[in-house]
């Protein structure tokens, strides 16, 4: 008995020593690994990279940009079903353990022993807390050291943060494949839904992804993805989160994934979205753009944007097709599978046309095959679609090159040969029939702006963003030509001239200084009309009259007006610049016209209305007007709120009205008569540069300013008659007719002090009884002259006006 007691004492002492040694060793290991543990307190101020989202003025999504596609969602906003799915898949005891799950470790150890020597990766026993420690603070290294550190950090994190906070960090940080980080972004990327809209099979699939997103790709590994999803559904039912009937129904559901594209989300808004991205980058830098979680509200009106894209495209195509057929886009060999070869050719997807190859052609028609669609997994569809082009679909294709140049098409096979790769467009009302199209050589741009605020509600920077990302609305420097003339006339009206002032339209030679040839400007039609009013000079776009006027006003004054209106930063004060010889952008020109439409008040063009940071704080707002009375919380018969506009005035409001009325004459009687079809008050000005290299029209109503230019990217002549009035004005007309169709006709506001006097539009004199007359706007202290005469004529100079007297005394030889 004594021997037994002595043995028992020995074993107890030995056990105590072993226990103490183990405790000491454990303490040492904990101390050792604790020395270089990362600081977990950084989780308190966790700010993950969050994507920037851009919205239109109606709230619809325009674009998303991010390095990691992530939307941060607080745990309070995560649906219970989502939480239950992830707990079932990853850590069902999450709310019970203290950071480490002993039962999970035991299961993982058993699996490890079973697979020992098989080179299989050990099964993880990590809790959600351990995954947070690994994802935020450690690496993905597979080692005992990392697992020990992971466990120690998990214990400390559990003591420092609530379970909900830990789960919130996890659900927003995990990578779920296809570039999506966190559950909110994954719901959008995989299903184009918010997390609140997800169904049981959808949340189960997302919960299946954290272990290995690439192994459960819904396209490449569809069967494995469905098996893993169904496993999660079974765990949800096993844990009592859903019923068995719900589980059975969910497992029968097909895995339907609708990937969400990056970049522009609204068709036709690609140039707009890219310009917004560029401005944010310049304002805040790359990190803020791609990681800052900015919420950007733009001025984009989706309906007007689609309309702007369509009308510009129609105008470019109309011009291009009038020049004839240039030949196929590309050609391919017709041996073997034509669909595979056609799929290798890059197509433009931002135009409403289809890429096709001619399979056969004869006199009456051509049989075409369309580019096969890409399957979601990236492969080429095995389906082959075909269509037909009849003779009517190619009649426009007059040849411009080769022996058939200029000949009208009488046979489809004249134009199309087997192997020709072409673009086609469906013929409305004729199923299966298509019309031949070609990518236009000519380019152009359109800007649509609100004149009161400068908000750019639509912008198209070219025919196709897929073809060229160069934004011709904001980046192309072009000569505005005669569309600059209103600012020369505005400078004159601001300095004592009236719309009835008479200027001589006759040949003139300008001495440009030593070593420079004499410059003799000409009118477009090579004709001269003698003494004419300023109104006539602007309406008919008379070059010589504009040069004489600029010479008399003084080019330094004209250059200052160009600067004030934002057309040029530092215009060279030479007379040729009065005809728009300097280069500027369409955006600047539209902004300048908006200031005239806004009564002379400064307008800053802007695509962005407001920017908020990730916390909802407004960090930028375009409209800086003060709203007095807008902070009232209750109605107490107080005055209605008022907007205080402190923007500077760049042009006298009366001058703005005068130049507006003169530009209304451009539409009614001058070079912009295409706009008469709009049927509402419209003012505007055409512009055509030397050799018809650029064709402009900028027009406005009290509600909207629209500017268009056409021209080749490498400037060259577009052909005789390619003027702003014939090319660009019809595009603006087509846009305005549709955009303003349901709007009332609003006249331009007459500012206080303006007198409207009946005058003869040809002479500028007061109109007599029965004479053809228009109402002309005059400022206080001015009036139409009673008479004028041309100095140097055979008749006596009777009633010489002050303008004529000044012209003689200053030697300008042109102003009367």
Q: Catalytic positions, please?
A: 90, 482
Contact yes or no for 237/244 (Cβ under 8 A): yes
Strands annotated E in 596-746: 608-612, 618-621, 626-628, 642-644, 683-688, 695-700, 705-711
Give the whole-angstrom CA distance, residue 261 versus residue 188: 10
Instruction: Say how far residue 343 (Cα) sits from the centre of its chain.
Output: 28
Nearest C-alpha neighbor of 437 from the set 419, 454, 416: 416
What's CA 668's distance to the chain center, in Å? 34
| Cα-trace Rg, the chain | 37
Report how far residue 605's alpha carbon sits from residue 447's, in angstroms, rounded to the nearest whole number. 10
Structure tokens at 276: 């917004």
Residue 792: other Cβ atoms inside 10 A: 9
φ, ψ at 26 (rounded to 5°): -65, -40
Alpha-carbon torsion angle 427, 430, 434, 440, nearest 10: 0
CA distance 468 to 443: 10
Q: How far apart are CA 711 and CA 524, in angstroms?
A: 18
Q: Residue 677 has which token pair? A: 């079809």
* String of DSSP letters for 714-743: S-----TT--IIIIIHHHHHHHHHHHTTTS
Largest CA distance in the chain: 156
The helix/strand/coil state of 357 is strand
Neighbouring CB atoms inside 10 A of 527's CB total 9
Specify the 3-state DSSP secondary structure of 411.
Answer: coil
Residues 6+ apart with CB under 8 A from 698: 483, 589, 590, 593, 684, 685, 687, 705, 706, 707, 708, 732
Rounded (10°) angle between helices 200-208 and 244-252? 80
> What stretch of H or E contains 118?
none
C-alpha 111/C-alpha 600 separation (Å) is 80
Which residues, listed in sequence order, are joined to residue 370 by a DSSP beta bridge?
356
Q: Please say whether the beta carbons of 763 and 757 come within 8 A.
A: no
Instruction: Compute the C-alpha angle 414/420/421, nearest 5°.
Output: 135
Q: How far apart are CA 419 and CA 529, in angstroms?
A: 57
Could you tell me which of 268, 239, 242, 264 has the C-alpha nearest to residue 253?
A: 242
Task: Give 357's strand partners.
Answer: 369, 421
The DSSP secondary structure of 499-556, one letter per residue, reads TT-EEEES---B---TTSPPB----TTS---EEEEHHHHHHTT-HHHHHHHHHHH-HH
Q: Euclidean distance between the first and final Cα of the chain, in Å?
A: 141
CA 206 to chain centre: 32
d(CA 576, CA 597): 26
H-run or E-run covering 331:
strand 330-331
- Two tokens, residue 333: 């060999």
Structure tokens at 387: 């269509």
């Amino acid at each position: 008995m004594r021997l037994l007691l002595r043995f028992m004492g020995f074993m107890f002492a030995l056990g105590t020593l072993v226990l103490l040694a183990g405790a000491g060793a454990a303490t040492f290991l904990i101390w050792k690994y604790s020395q270089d543990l990362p600081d977990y307190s950084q989780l308190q101020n966790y700010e993950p990279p969050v994507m920037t989202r851009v919205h239109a003025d109606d709230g619809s999504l325009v674009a998303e940009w991010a390095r990691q596609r992530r939307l941060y969602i607080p745990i309070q906003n995560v649906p219970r079903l989502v939480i239950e799915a992830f707990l079932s898949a990853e850590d069902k005891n999450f709310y019970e353990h203290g950071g480490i799950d002993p039962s999970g470790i035991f299961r993982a150890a058993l699996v490890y022993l079973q697979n020992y020597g098989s080179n299989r990766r050990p099964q993880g026993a990590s809790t959600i807390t351990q995954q947070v420690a690994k994802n935020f603070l450690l690496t993905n290294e597979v080692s005992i050291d990392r697992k020990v550190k992971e466990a120690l950090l998990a214990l400390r994190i559990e003591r420092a943060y609530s379970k909900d906070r830990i789960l919130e960090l996890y659900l927003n940080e995990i990578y779920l494949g296809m570039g999506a980080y966190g559950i909110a972004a994954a719901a959008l990327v995989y299903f184009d839904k918010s997390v609140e809209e997800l169904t049981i099979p959808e949340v189960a699939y997302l919960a299946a992804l954290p272990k290995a997103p690439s192994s459960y790709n819904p396209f490449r590994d569809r069967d494995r993805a469905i098996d893993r999803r169904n496993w999660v559904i079974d765990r949800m039912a096993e844990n009592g989160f859903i019923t068995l009937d719900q589980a059975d129904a969910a497992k029968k559901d097909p895995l339907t994934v609708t990937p969400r594209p990056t970049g522009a989300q609204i068709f036709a808004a690609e140039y707009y979205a890219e310009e917004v991205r560029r401005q944010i980058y310049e304002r805040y830098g790359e990190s803020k753009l791609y990681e800052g979680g900015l919420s950007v509200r733009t001025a984009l009106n989706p309906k007007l944007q689609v309309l702007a894209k369509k009308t510009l495209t129609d105008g470019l195509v109309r011009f291009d097709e009038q020049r004839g057929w240039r030949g196929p886009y590309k050609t391919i060999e017709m041996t073997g599978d034509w669909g595979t070869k056609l799929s290798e050719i890059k197509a433009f997807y931002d135009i409403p046309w289809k890429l096709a190859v001619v399979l056969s052609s004869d006199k009456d028609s051509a049989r075409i095959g369309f580019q096969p669609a890409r399957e979601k997994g990236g492969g080429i569809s095995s389906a082959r679609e075909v269509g037909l082009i009849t003779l009517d679909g190619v009649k426009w294709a007059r040849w411009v090159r080769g022996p058939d140049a200029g000949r009208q098409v009488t046979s489809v096979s004249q134009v199309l040969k087997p192997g020709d790769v072409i673009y086609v467009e469906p013929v409305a009302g004729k199923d299966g029939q298509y019309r031949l199209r070609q990518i236009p050589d000519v380019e152009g741009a359109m800007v649509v702006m609100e004149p009161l605020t400068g908000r750019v509600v639509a912008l198209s920077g070219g025919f196709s963003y897929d073809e060229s990302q160069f934004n011709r609305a904001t980046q192309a420097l072009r000569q505005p030509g005669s569309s600059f003339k209103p600012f020369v006339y505005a400078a004159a009206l601001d300095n004592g001239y009236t719309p009835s002032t008479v200027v001589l339209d006759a040949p003139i030679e300008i001495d440009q200084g030593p070593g420079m040839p004499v410059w003799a400007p000409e009118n477009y039609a090579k004709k001269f009309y003698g003494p004419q009013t300023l109104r006539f000079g602007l309406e008919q776009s008379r070059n010589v009259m504009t040069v004489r006027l600029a010479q008399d006003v003084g080019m330094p004054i004209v250059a200052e007006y160009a600067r004030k209106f934002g057309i040029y930063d530092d215009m060279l004060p030479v007379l040729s610049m009065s005809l728009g010889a300097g280069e500027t952008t369409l955006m600047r020109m539209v902004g300048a016209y908006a200031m005239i439409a806004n009564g002379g008040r400064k307008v800053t063009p802007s695509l962005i209305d407001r920017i908020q940071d990730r916390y909802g704080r407004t960090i930028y707002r375009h409209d800086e007007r003060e709203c007095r009375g807008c902070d009232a919380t209750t109605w107490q018969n107080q005055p209605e709120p008022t907007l205080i506009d402190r923007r500077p005035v760049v042009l006298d409001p009366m001058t703005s009205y005068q130049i507006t009325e003169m530009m209304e004459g451009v539409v009614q009687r001058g070079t912009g008569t295409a706009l008469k079809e709009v049927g509402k008050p419209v003012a505007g000005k055409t512009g055509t540069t030397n050799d018809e290299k650029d064709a402009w029209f900028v027009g406005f109503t009290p509600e909207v300013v629209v500017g268009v230019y056409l021209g080749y990217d490498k400037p060259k002549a577009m052909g005789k008659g390619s003027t702003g009035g014939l090319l660009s004005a019809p595009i603006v007309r087509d846009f305005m007719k549709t955009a303003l169709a349901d709007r009332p006709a609003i006249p331009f506001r007459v500012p206080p002090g303006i007198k409207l006097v009946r005058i003869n539009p040809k002479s500028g004199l007061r109109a007599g009884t029965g004479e053809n007359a228009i109402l002309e706007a005059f400022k206080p202290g001015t009036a139409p002259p009673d008479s004028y005469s041309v100095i140097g004529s055979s008749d006596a100079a009777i009633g010489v006006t002050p303008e004529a007297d000044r012209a003689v005394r200053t030697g300008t030889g042109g102003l009367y």
